[in-house]
Amino acid sequence: MTIRAESINGKVKSKVQNIETYYVPFDELPIKKISTSSWLCTKVNSNAGGVYDIKKVWDGNPNTFWSSSWKPFYPLPYVIEIDMQKKYDIRKVVLQQRPKMKDLTKLTIDLSEDGENWVNLGEFTKGNIFNQELGGKDELVYKKGFFFGQFLRITIPESGRGGGKTSVCIAEIEVHALQ
């Protein structure tokens, strides 16, 4: 392939020959789990704290978990915003529920470059993705489009606890990005 670049007056400014091009299918692009060591929570409107603190969502241990407050119960929706400290090309989000719990029935994932303007990446819902065994991992994989951002928002609009109880738990969240 030869590429020619011309100036406004029509004279050739440069000529490059023998450029090799490659095609990699979108779903074969290399991705990896990003480090969570520098993540910061910028917003959480219900947090039990202590051993159930929000940082448990990305501590890498599926046996620990975040819980919304249950004394008192706070009204839904719950919103968690995380600054990943760097912009990434997101390709997959993995969610792990607390083992033996069914309280998380729906949540949405949004991404932002600036923490102000958000793009919806998708949702996890009971009967859709939450059909795996309790404590299993559920994935949202993005095979089309580019999702670039630094801020992750998790919105939980409902709880499966019933009886007026609104608390929910999340064991882990992982974000996988283009290498």
Instruction: Say which residue, 110 or 143, is predicted with more confidence.
Output: 110
Residues forming beta bridges with residue 108, ordered by sequence position: 123, 155
**Range(s) of the domain holding residue 72:** 29-178
Query: For residue range 33-73, what is the model confidence (pLDDT) as tens digits?
Result: 999 999 999 999 998 989 899 999 999 998 899 999 887 77
Instruction: Say which residue, 86 or 28, is predicted with more confidence.
Output: 86
Note the pLDDT of residue 135.
47
Residue type at 136 in one-letter notation: G
Integer CA distances (angstroms), 68 to 9, 53, 137, in order:
65, 9, 20
Q: Does residue 165 belong to any structural domain of this protein?
A: yes
- Judging by beta carbons within 10 Å of its beta carbon (0-12, 13-18, 19+), is residue 101 exposed, middle or buried? middle
pLDDT of 4 over the 90 cut: no
Note the pLDDT of residue 30.
80
Question: How many angstroms separate the CA atoms of 170 and 70, rounded?
Answer: 14
Which whole number is the average pLDDT over 150-174? 87
pLDDT of 177 over the 80 cut: yes
Q: Does residue 24 belong to any structural domain of this protein?
A: no
Question: How many angstroms separate the CA atoms of 28 and 70, rounded?
Answer: 43
Q: Does residue 147 belong to any structural domain of this protein?
A: yes
The three-state secondary structure class of 123 is strand
pLDDT of 9 over the 80 cut: no
Q: Does residue 23 belong to any structural domain of this protein?
A: no
Note the pLDDT of residue 8.
55
pTM: 0.78
Which whole number is the average pLDDT over 98-106? 77
| The total number of structural domains that make up the chain | 1
Q: Convert 125-148 to b/e letters by CB count within 10 Å (16 or more is b).
A: beeebbeeeeeeebebebeeeebe
Note the pLDDT of residue 19.
67
Asked if residues 177 and 88 have their Cβ atoms less than 8 Å apart, the reply is yes
Q: What are phi and psi of 83, to 5 degrees?
A: -95, 115
DSSP string, 74-124: PPSPEEEEEEEEEEEEEEEEEEEPPTT---EEEEEEEEESSSSSEEEEEEE
Asked if residues 44 and 162 have their Cβ atoms less than 8 Å apart, the reply is no
Q: What is the CATH number of the domain that holds 139?
A: 2.60.120.260
- Judging by beta carbons within 10 Å of its beta carbon (0-12, 13-18, 19+), is residue 41 exposed, middle or buried? middle
Report the percent of the chain where pLDDT is more than 70. Answer: 73
Q: Does residue 17 belong to any structural domain of this protein?
A: no
pLDDT, averaged across the chain: 80
